[in-house]
Chain A
Amino acid sequence: MKRVMIVLGLVAALFAFTGCGSDTLNVFNWGDYIDEEVLGIFTEQTGIQVNYQNFATNEEMYTKIKNGGSEYDVLFPSDYMINKMIKEDMLEKLDMQNIPNIAHIGDQFRNLSYDPNGEYSVPYMWGTLGILYNTAMVDEAVDSWDILWNAKYENRIFMYESMRDSFTPAFKRLGFSINTTDSAEIDAAKRLLIEQKPIIRAYVGDAVKDSMIGGEGALSLVFSGDAVFCIEENPDLAFAVPKEGSNIWFDAVVVPKGTKHKKEAEAFINFLCDPDIALKNTEYIGYSTVNMTAFENLPQEVQDDPVYWPRLESLGNSEVFLDIGDYIGEYDKAWTEVLASE
C-alpha cells in the first residue's frame, strides 16, 4: 500500500509541475492560422503574455475543453462547433463594450445562424466550399456539382476526407439542406456518394492542394481560401461555387466558460478586430477576412478577386453548417459505408 501511495504522490508532484503566470493568456488556435508577429505586438501594447497553442480539428479541441484539466482563455472554433458549444453551455457571453472594434466586422457576417444573437462569438475568417479545377483538363463550364460525377474525369477527382464537407455536394445536388436530419435524405446522399466512389482518385485532406497544384487532378472539392493559394501557385487552376449552392463557413473567436482571464481575452479579441491586425492576418493566412475596414485596405485586385471574396448574392442557396446533435452518428454510419464500399 505504501508503494501505491508513493506512486500517487509522484503523480501529484508531476501535476504541480504545471501552472502558468497569472498575466498569461492561453490561446488555442488552428495550426499556422495567425501571423505570429501580431502576438508580439499584442504583448507590447498590453503587457499581457500570450501562450499560444495549436489544435488540428474542431473535435480534438472540443474533447480537450469539454474534459477540462487545462486552462484555455481564447478558442477559434468553426461555426457548427460554436453552435454545439453554445448548446452545451460551454462558452462565456462576451461583453461587447470591451470589443469596440467589432464595428469593423461586416454586418453580413454578424448574428449568423450558429450564434443567432452574436453574443458568444466574433468572426475571424470566412470562406466557401467549391470546385477547384484545372482549365487545361476541363473544357466545359464548371457551374454544377454534377461534374464531380462525370465519368470522363475518372481517377482525376479529389474529394475531402472530412465527412460533412464531402456530403455537401451530394446534398446540394439532390436539393437537400446540408444540415438535414432526415434519414431518407442522408441515405439518398450516401447512395450518390457510393455511385461516385469508383471515379474518385482519393479522399484527402490538405494534400489536395499539392495534388491540384502539381496537376495530379482535374477537379477537386476545396475551400475558397485554399483555392486562392492554389491558383497563385498554378495559374491553370480556377475555382467555382456551383449554382446549386454550397457551404459558407466561418471560424470565429470565443471564450470558454470558467476562464480566469475574461477581460484579457476580450482585449485580445478586440485586438484581433483592429483593421491593421486583421489585415496582417488575412495577408499571412490567405483566407478571407470578415473585417470590412481591413478588406478595403487590401489591394484592389484582391478585393475584386471572386475567389478571395465570393459574391454573397451568388451564394443564395448556400448554408452555414450547424450542429446536428446525435444525427452525426447516422452521418458517420453512412460515411463509413461510402468509404468501405468497393
Chain B
Amino acid sequence: MKKLFAYPYVVWISIFIVVPLLLVLYYSLTAVDADGAAYFTLDNYRRFFEASTPGQPFLERIYVSVMLRSIWLALISTAICFVLGYPAAYIMAGKGFSDKSFLLFLFLVPMWMNFLLRTYAWLTILEQNGVLNNLLGFLGIPKLDILYTDAAVVLGMVYNFLPFMILPIYTSLRKTDRSLIEAAQDLGADGIKVFSRVVFPLSIPGVVSGVTMVFMPGVTTFIISNLLGGGQYILIGNLIEQQFLKVGDWRFGSAISVILIILILISMGIFARVDKEPVTTA
C-alpha cells in the first residue's frame, strides 16, 4: 500500500526525467564516424579536462577553471541569499505581522515580470551614468562601477533567486510549534539559545530546500553572466549553451552537463548529510 503511493511518480520520473537524461548520457559517451555510425568514446570527457598547453596545472585548465568559478559564484550567491533571506523569513513568520501572506506575495510578484526585462532594468540602474550613480552623486557619495564585474553577476543571482530562499524557510518556520519555544523559554533559555537550539534546527529542512533551489540554478545560469557580467565572467552554463546552440556540438555539451550534474550531486550529498542530523535528533 505504502509503496504503491510512490509508484505512479516513479513511472513519471522514469519517462520524463530518466529517459531524457539517459539520452544526454548517450550523447556524451558517443561520437560519429565518417559513415554516420555512432561508437562509444570518452573523448568528450577527455576534452573537458585537456590541457591547452603542456604541463598546465589541472585547476587552471580552461574548462575546469570555468567550472570552479561557476560553483564559487553560485556558492557566494547562495550564502548571501541565506544571510539576507533567513531574517526576512523569520521576521515574517514571527508575531506582529497580521498580513503575512500579503508580505510574502510581495516578494514573489517581481518574479512575475519577465526575467530579461528585470535584468535589463538592472543594467539601467548599475551603469556608469545609471540610476544608482546619479543617486550616489546627488548624495555626494563616490560613484560605484560594478556593472560588468563578478559583483554584478552575484547581485543578479541574489536578486533572481532570493524568493526561492525565503519561501521554503518561511514555510518551515511558520508552523514551528510555539509550545516548544515556550517550553524552552520556561526552562530558562535566553533568546539566542532558543533560536540556536530550537527554532533554527527546526527550520533546517526549509533551509535545505532553499539552498537547493538557489544553488542549482545559480550554477547553471548563463543569461545573468552574459548581461550583467558583460560576457567576461563566463560560467559553465554559458559553455553548455554555447555547445548546444552556437557550435552545435551536442556531444561535448552533454558531457559538460553530465560532469556538472555529478558535481552538483556530490555537493547535494553534502547538504543532505547536514539535513539528516536534525531529523535524527528531533
Hey, which bits of chain A sit against chain B, CB under 8 A? Answer: 3-4, 7-8, 11, 57, 59-60, 62-63, 161-163, 197, 200-205, 207, 210-211, 214-216, 328-329, 332, 336-337, 339-340
Contact = CB atoms under 8 A, between A and B. Distances in A.
What secondary structure prevails in chain B residues at the interface with A? helix
B91 interface: no
B166 interface: no
Contacts, number: 81
Given A203-B231, A337-B52, A3 B7 contact: yes
B129 A216 contact: yes
A159 B55 CA distance: 32
Given A216-B127, A337-B62, A202 B148 contact: yes
Which of A8, A205, A207 has most B Cβ within 10 Å? A207
Nearest to A339: B234
B52 A339 contact: no
Given A339-B238, A340-B234, 10 more contacts: A8-B15, A57-B245, A59-B245, A163-B246, A201-B148, A203-B232, A205-B227, A207-B227, A210-B123, A340-B66
Given A207-B120, A211-B127, A340-B66, A161 B231 contact: yes
B190 to A, nearest CB: 49
Given A63-B245, A214-B127, A216-B128, A7 B231 contact: no
Nearest to A210: B123
B248 interface: yes
A203 B11 contact: no
Interface size class of B (residues with CB under 8 A): 35 or more
B260 to A, nearest CB: 16
B226 interface: yes
Contact of B247 (A4, A200, A332, A337): A332
B202 interface: no
What secondary structure prevails in chain A residues at the interface with B? helix
A198 to B, nearest CB: 10
B219 to A, nearest CB: 16
B71 to A, nearest CB: 15
Nearest to A200: B232
Contacts of B245: 57, 59-60, 63
Given A3-B11, A59-B248, A201-B148, A336 B127 contact: no
Which of A200, A216, A336 has most B Cβ within 10 Å? A336
A7 B12 contact: yes
Contacts of B244: 63
Contacts of A203: 230-232
B8 interface: yes
A328 B247 contact: yes
Contacts of A339: 231-232, 234, 238
A204 B8 contact: no
Contact of A7 (B11, B52, B234, B248): B11
B148 A340 contact: no
Which of A4, A62, A197, A340 has most B Cβ within 10 Å? A340
